[in-house]
Amino acid sequence: MARKQSNEEEVQVQEAPQVENPQEEAPETTEMPTVTAPVKKVKIRTTEEVNCIIAGVPYNLGGNKEVQVPSDVAAILVNGGKAFRL
């Protein structure tokens, strides 16, 4: 392909060679099975009133009451000195 500039010189422009890229198929995404373990509930007795959010779940527990909570929540409250296990 030739072009002419204003000063009448001939300029040749080379086009880039087209390379055919075989489109590699993306690996099929297989759904991973989700495993949900049953939540173990344990009894605790609060030492004082507890108003907190643990793992996105709000907990409003009265003072000196027995309640059942998931074991993870119980561990957090016991380590914080807000409750003890029964």
pLDDT in tens, 6-37: 556 666 767 766 666 656 665 667 788 888 88
Sort strands 57-61 and 2-4 into parallel, antiparallel or unpaired.
unpaired
Domain count, the chain: 1
What is the residue range of 73's domain?
A: 40-86
The span from the CA of 74 to the CA of 54, in Å, is 10
Low-confidence winner among 31-35, 44-48, 80-84 (lowest mean pLDDT): 31-35
What CATH number is associated with residue 48?
A: 3.40.5.50
DSSP state string for 4-44: E-TT--EEE-PPPPP-----PPPPPPPPPPP--PPPPEEEE
73 is a domain residue: yes
- In the prediction, which pLDDT does 32 show? 81
Q: Are the C-beta atoms of residues 75 and 40 closer than 8 Å to each other?
A: no
- In the prediction, which pLDDT does 36 show? 83
The span from the CA of 81 to the CA of 86, in Å, is 14
